[in-house]
Amino acid sequence: MGSTRRAFTDEYKAQAVGFVLEGGRSVAEVARNIGVHEMTLGKWVKKARDEAESGKDPDAPLGESERAELARLREESKQDKATIAELQMQVEFAKKVATWFAKGKQ
C-alpha cells in the first residue's frame, strides 16, 4: 500500500506562513503545532519570502515589455544554437583534417 499525499489549500498555506512570518515563531514550532512536516512548511515560507522580495506573483501573466524581452531572448537563443552547431561542425572537420595529415606523415 502506498501512502497518500495530503493536499493543502492556498488559504491554509498562507495562514501557516503567517504564523511564521508575522507571528515570529519558528518554522519547526509551527510545523509541529499544525501537523505539517517542517520541510514542507519551510518551502512555503521560502516561496512567500521570495514572492515578497520580488514584489510580484510568479504565476502572473507577462506584461508587454516582458513578452518582448522573452521573444528577443528566444531569438537570441536560436541564433546561439545555430552558431554552436556551426562551430561543432568546424571542430569535427578540423579533427578529420588533422587525422588525415597525421596519417600522411607516417
Cβ(73)–Cβ(65) below 8 Å: no
What are the pLDDT digits (tens) for 3-47? Answer: 788 888 989 999 999 999 888 889 999 999 999 999 999 999 999
Q: Which residues contact 15 (CB under 8 A, 6 or more apart)?
A: none
What predicted TM-score, i.e. pTM, was given to this entire model? 0.50
3-class secondary structure, 53: helix
| Residue type (1 letter), 53 | E
Name the residue among 21, 19, 22 with its Cα closest to residue 32.
19
Quick one: average pLDDT of 58-84? Answer: 90
Handedness of CA 51, 54, 58, 60 (dihedral sign): positive
| Residue type (1 letter), 104 | G
Quick one: average pLDDT of 67-96? Answer: 95
Q: What is the mean pLDDT of the chain?
A: 88
